Chain A
Amino acid sequence: MAIKKFEIPELLKDKPSHGACQGCGHGICWRIIYEVVEELGYKNKHVIFHDLACGSHGLFATHGHAFSGAHGRAIPTATGYKRIRPDMLVFSYAGDGATYNIGMQHTVHTAARNENITAIVVNNTNFGMTGGQMSATSLIGQKTTSSPAGRDSKENGNPIDIVNLYHGMDIAYLARGAVDSVPNINKTKNYIRKAFQKQMAGEGFSLVEILAPCPTNWNLTPAAALDRMENEIFKIYTLGEFIERSAK
């Protein structure tokens, strides 16, 4: 039986530690993203547009092109770049706060324009960098530092689910994965691959949401954070592929 040897992507070799917390999902996200970038042959032909906050720890974790713009603006910054250099693989990398709170106008209008870029959204149901405040995706009942009694729909409004929001949108691809387990990591990697392939085939906008644990701000151990994902989060934010435009 052939034994598969797992090699760290060239793009991430010999770079400083990314600085994410223990049990954080970002490290796995970067790993599978850059594996796909290299497997598809875009090692020298890609740019990642980071948001600020936890996700931008990845800015200096790669040998590739990376830029970290303003909070919530990674999608328009990626859009401007792609319009000038359409041959490059271009993707944004941001969290739920950036994408569904402060940057929501871009999340809607970029999809409406079907811009030919990929948005990767790491959803950990809170604002991690600033210490665990409520975000657009915090669950009803979720205790955060700005909803200390637990999110209440009357007090705090309801969570936003991108799958519902994008219903009927004419975009290339929408999928939601997770990095809690090997099967889900492998599925998520395939979603990213499909999104990148569709972009480079000129099919338009793709968004891959990745559910990720945030044990630090959930006040849970890394193992208990994974349990929370399976027992609570996946029941609200279902995994899978939701929009897929067939190639011309």
Chain B
Amino acid sequence: MAEKAIMKGNEALAEAALRAGCRFFSGYPITPQTEVLEYLSWRMSEVGGELIQTEDELTGLHMLIGASLAGSRVLSTSAGPGFALFHEGISYICGCEIPAVLVDVQRVGGACGGISASQGDYEEVTHGGGNGDSQYVVLTPASVQEEVDMMKEAYEIAEKYRNPVVILTDAIIGQMMEGITLPDFADIDIDKFDYTYKELKDGEDGIQRGGYPGQGFPAYAAHMGAKYKAMKEAEQRWENIEVSDADVVCVAYGISSRVCKEAVRKARAKGIKLGLIRLITAWPFPEKAFAEINPDCKGLLAVEMSIKGQMVPDIKLATKCNMPVYGYFSLDVVPDADVVVETAEKIIAGTCEEV
């Protein structure tokens, strides 16, 4: 039965995965995602699933491949430096067409960086993929409830396309507690799909496949190309807030988008027409959301916790470079709603520099 709870983001995400039918987790501790591993290390066995604390992050992904081939819904989670080790496995999960859900609880900085919140993994996660044309849907929750709700959706997308789905969240959403409604437990049949490896009947041939296409590369390219195109068309998700009459439209995701929502309220109270496009998918980038912007809009304001403003190229492509793009980038602190409003005022006054 659906129930209400107050939970930390990482623990709520873990519980939501179990309720979505996940029965296999393999992963490695790293701040700020460690609570997922810790929570599941006692909770997974209660629901009859399997958990392995692995020797490193990349191992976790190769274990997922085996467990997913067996028919289970599978999960691995990491953060920044650990997610970097996911890329070998991500390429295999894409290339071998295996459903899996992965999570990056973003932390600050390159190299080791630090353990506080940031949004510096955008490019790595949405465009980094793995070697050789791998691509996957990236979901960007902005609250603990949304992390919970996205779990079920993530598994459905993963199974629809036989492809990984990554939930790109951050240290603040992962670490903060919020009131949530948890969904009911889903029943998952591990024999449901014909591509899983199960006991054969007499005379039945098994499945023989691996990390190189049995059908040859031209046929593989056509198949994967059509799949990625279908994902790009069907899976764009976004939330537009007061966009149609806006003079300035913020573009943000995750924790930054919550600040932008507050900024829209504050700006509107002052008579400034500010709007927000909140990404719910970072890939496919929600290009369709930009159709609502009015032609007299003065510019788009990318609000992101990073150094480079990693969303900016995607925003420019979504608008075919037809609109000025400005940036407010706060690497390791949550953006300030008042600074967002001030920046919007400067954009309207023509005193802000484009990025």
Q: Do A and B come from one complex?
A: yes
Interface residues of A (CB under 8 A from B): 43-45, 47, 49-50, 52, 56, 59-60, 62-70, 73, 76-85, 87-88, 105-106, 108-109, 113
Contact assessment for B197 and A81 in the assembled complex, using a CB-CB cutoff below 8 Å? yes
Asked if B210 contacts A76 (CB within 8 A), the reply is: no
Residue of A nearest to B198 (CB): A85
Choose from B24, B88, B210 the contact partner of A84 (Cβ within 8 Å): B24
- Contact pick for B65, options A66, A77, A105, CB 8 Å: A77
In the complex, the chain B residue whose C-beta lies closest to that of A113 is: B52
Interface bits B48-80 vs A (CB < 8 Å: 1, else 0): 001010111011001111111111101000000
CB distance from B124 to the nearest CB of A (A): 20
A-B contact pairs, 22 of them (CB 8 A): A43-B200, A52-B211, A60-B208, A64-B206, A66-B207, A67-B69, A69-B96, A70-B92, A73-B89, A76-B59, A77-B62, A78-B66, A79-B52, A80-B26, A80-B63, A81-B69, A83-B67, A84-B66, A87-B199, A105-B55, A108-B55, A109-B59
Question: Is B187 close to A, CB under 8 A?
Answer: no
Query: How many interface residues does chain B have, given as a range?
Result: 35 or more
Could you tell me if A105 and B208 are in contact, using CB atoms closer than 8 angstroms?
A: no
Give the tally of cross-chain contacts (CB within 8 A).
134
Q: Which of B58, B59, B70, B212 contacts A81 (CB 8 A)?
A: B70
The 4 lowest CB-CB distance pairs between A and B, nearest first, are: A68-B210, A80-B66, A84-B70, A81-B66
Q: Are B70 and A80 in contact (CB under 8 A)?
A: yes
* Contact assessment for A44 and B208 in the assembled complex, using a CB-CB cutoff below 8 Å: no
Q: How far is the CB of A47 from chain B (nearest CB, A)?
A: 5
Query: A69, B62: Cβ atoms under 8 Å?
Result: yes
State the main secondary structure of chain A at its contact with B. mixed
Chain B residue, CB-CB nearest to A108: B55
Is B189 an interface residue, CB under 8 A from the partner?
A: no
| Alpha-carbon separation in the docked complex, A105 to B24 (Å) | 21
| Distance A80 CA – B69 CA, assembled complex (angstroms) | 9
Q: Which residues of B contact A59 (CB under 8 A)?
A: 208-210
Known: A80-B26, A84-B24, A84-B71. A65 touches B197 (CB 8 A): yes
